[in-house]
Every structure is written in C-alpha cells, then in structure tokens.
C-alpha cells in the first residue's frame, strides 16, 4: 500500500505546556506569584535569591523556593537560612527543570500559605529555554564576569526573559564590563525587556528589585 | 542533553497517532532559537526508538527562519541577517522592528504511515 501523510501539527512539548498552563492557573487563582530564574552557572542566582527571600520575608511576604541542580542539596540548605520554605530537586544529569518536576514537589504544599514561589532553574543558558514551569515571570541573570555579548551568543534563552538582572555590578569596572552594550544586546534579542542592576556583595539594587517584584506581582506590602 | 527529552516527547506524539508502528517518517519544525541541536536530536530519537516498532522511522527536520513583526504597522518580515547584526528596520514602514515570532517553535507537523495501518487522531 502507498504511504499516507497524517497532519499532526502538535507542539512537541504539548504535555509539558498543558501541565504548566494548568499549574499557572492554579497558582494565579491562589494568588501565588511564580518566577522562574534562569542563567549560566555561577552568575549569582543563589546568592541573589537568598537575599531576595530574606528581604521579602522582612517585608511580610510568605515565600517559598524550589531549586534545581544536577547533584547535592547545597543550594536548598543555603536558601533555608533565609527562613523560607525550600525544596531541592536533584536532576541527576538532566540539564533543565520540567513542569512535572515542579508539580511533584509542589502538590503537597498548602497553596494558600504562600504569596511568592521562586524557582531556581539548573544553571544553563540553553536547555531551560523551552520548558514552561507555570511561571508568571521569567527572570534572567547575566553577571558582568560573563561579558556583555552573552545575549547574542545565547539569544534563545534571553529571548524568553521578562526581566534581566545584571549581577555582580561591584565587579563591573574590574571586568571592564560595557553596560550599555550589554543592555543594547539584550534589547536586540528581547525588545522591550526590563533590565535591572544588582550586586549581592554590596546589596546594590536589592530594594529596587524587591520594589519591582512587588509592583509586577501587584502586591505592595510594607 | 535536553534533546533526549525532546526526542522522547516526539516519540510519544508519534505513538499516540500511530500506536501500531510502521511509521516511515516524522516531520518536525524547529524555530531558529529553539535551542535544539539537530544531530543530537536525531541521535536521541534513534536511541529512544531503538528496539521498538519505530526503530526505522526517519526524522525530518525543517528549520524556521527568524520572523520579525513590526510593532508599528504589524507587518511580518523574514530576515536572513544574523541576530548580531541588530534589529532591522521594517521594510514596510521604516520603523525599527520590535517583535520576534516563531523563533522558539517546536512542532510535530506530520507523520508518514503505511496506508493499511491503523492510526488514531489527536
């Protein structure tokens, strides 16, 4: 018999996207603002997240975090120092988090007791790009030590970010970091993206970041 | 590495449409910024279908070029320049283009099956 073509036209990650959409609806109906943090390894995600959790708690928010790494629960133990509820996902080699992993960790938490959920993805500028985790906000981090051309080298990931934090700004001069070029490169791959500056060392930009986050999530609580 | 996860999802979609095997080929579309390395995807697909009824299924990949959409006049525009050349101006109204579309797309478009084999729709 002759071969026949069947039109399928289905998104390859449809199963992930469907679960992520359902989770997003659940999160939103419970008033939980979820962000998914993506960057290269060593960009300062964990430090900035620890500072964010600590400051959010001081401002009266109920916060939780899920952190993904290939191995070890070091980041979870570090983030727990902030006082937030934290879960560690060890992917054992997988280079990104998927919606099912978040759903597994999340489903036994009491939804009504949390205002903000922060998901720290596996450090990687490629693989997390395509996996929706049910977030309302995707946060990219770009450290000055990586160089201002990273957005052009990894356009796929930066194209998905709603906001990008330039981290380790205290090292900008030493690294001869060209801030304007970095911002222009980000705007090239993601026109209109918000760009904020930060330093986990000096705490520069922390209050502005928390203000921005509260504004974006529609919660001002002081 | 994430190509293995993507290959597994492609395999599930193919199985759901042709559960009894004998799929000759599967056609997929990948956006320019989908972050999928084609050779790695082919190897992963071979690996996930190995020793199944789908072991001989070919993977045919179509790449989608960058599509820009002008924020001012909403016209779309395919551009062949690399992203490092910067955001181009709209060829229709001359304003700077603002939006990108189709770049992240990853879809199974079609599968080619033997006519006499039972298939099932989505």
- What residue spans define the domains of chain A? 14-210
Question: Among A40, A218, A215, A26, which residue's Cα sits nearest to residue A133?
Answer: A26
Tell me if A8 and B116 make a contact (CB, 8 A cut-off): no
> Least CB-CB distance to B2: which of A3, A15, A95?
A95
Enumerate domains of chain B plus CATH numbers. Answer: 2-113 (3.30.2320.80)
CATH of domain A14-210: 3.40.50.300
Q: Which of B23, B35, B64, B83 to mutate to test the interface with A (most CBs of A within 10 A)?
A: B35
Residue closest to A134 by CA, chosen among A144, A151, A145, A121: A121
Q: What angle do CA A149, A150, A155 make, to 5 degrees?
A: 110
Q: What is the largest CA-CA distance in chain A?
A: 72
Q: What is the pLDDT of residues B38-85, one digit of tens each?
A: 999 999 999 999 999 999 999 999 988 766 667 677 777 665 544 545
Nearest one of B2, B90, B84 to B41, comparing CA atoms: B2
Tell if the CB–CB gap between B9 and A15 is shorter than 8 Å.
Answer: yes
pTM recorded for the entire structure: 0.87
Q: At B19, is the pLDDT very low, low, confident or very high (cuts 50, 70, 90)? A: confident
Chain A residues with at least one Cβ partner in B under 8 Å: 1-16, 93-96, 98, 126-127, 129-130, 152, 155-157, 159-160, 187-189, 191-192
For residue B122, pLDDT over 50 is answered with no
What φ, ψ does residue B105 adopt, rounded to 5°? -65, 140
Q: Is the pLDDT confidence value at B87 over 90?
A: no
Residue in A105, A131, A135 with CA at minimum distance from that of residue A14: A131
Taking contacts as CB-CB distances below 8 angstroms, the residues of chain B near A7 are 109-110
Per-residue pLDDT of A21-74, as tens digits, reads: 999 999 999 999 999 999 999 999 999 999 999 999 999 999 999 999 999 999
Write the ipTM. 0.83
């Amino acid at each position: 018999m002759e071969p026949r073509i069947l039109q399928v036209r289905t998104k390859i990650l449809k199963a992930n996207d469907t679960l992520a959409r359902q989770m997003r609806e659940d999160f939103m109906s419970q008033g939980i603002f979820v962000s998914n943090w993506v960057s290269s390894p060593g960009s300062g995600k964990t430090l900035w997240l620890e500072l964010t959790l600590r400051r959010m708690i001081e401002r009266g928010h109920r916060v939780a975090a899920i952190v993904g790494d290939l191995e070890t629960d070091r980041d979870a133990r570090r983030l727990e120092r902030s006082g937030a509820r934290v879960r560690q996902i060890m992917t054992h080699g997988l280079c990104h988090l998927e919606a099912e992993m978040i759903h597994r960790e999340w489903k036994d938490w009491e939804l009504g007791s949390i205002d903000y959920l922060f998901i720290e993805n596996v450090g990687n500028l490629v693989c997390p790009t395509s996996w929706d985790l049910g977030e309302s906000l995707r946060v990219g981090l770009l450290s000055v030590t990586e160089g201002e051309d990273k957005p052009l080298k990894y356009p796929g990931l930066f194209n998905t970010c709603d906001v990008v934090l330039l981290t380790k700004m205290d090292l900008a001069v030493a690294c001869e970091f060209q801030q304007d070029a970095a911002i222009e490169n980000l705007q090239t791959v993601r026109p209109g993206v918000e760009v904020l500056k930060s330093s986990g060392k000096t705490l520069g930009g922390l209050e502005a970041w928390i203000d921005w986050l509260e504004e974006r999530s529609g919660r001002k609580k002081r | 590495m994430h190509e293995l996860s993507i290959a597994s999802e492609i395999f599930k979609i193919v199985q759901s449409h042709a559960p009894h095997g004998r799929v000759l080929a599967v056609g997929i579309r990948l956006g320019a910024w989908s972050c999928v390395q084609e050779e790695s995807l082919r190897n992963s697909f071979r690996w996930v279908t190995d020793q199944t009824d789908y072991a001989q299924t070919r993977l045919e990949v179509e790449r989608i070029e960058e599509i820009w959409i002008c924020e001012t006049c909403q016209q779309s525009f395919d551009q062949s320049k690399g992203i490092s050349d910067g955001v181009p101006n709209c060829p229709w109204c001359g304003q700077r283009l603002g939006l990108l579309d189709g770049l992240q797309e990853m879809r199974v478009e079609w599968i080619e099956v033997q006519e006499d084999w039972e298939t099932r729709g989505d």
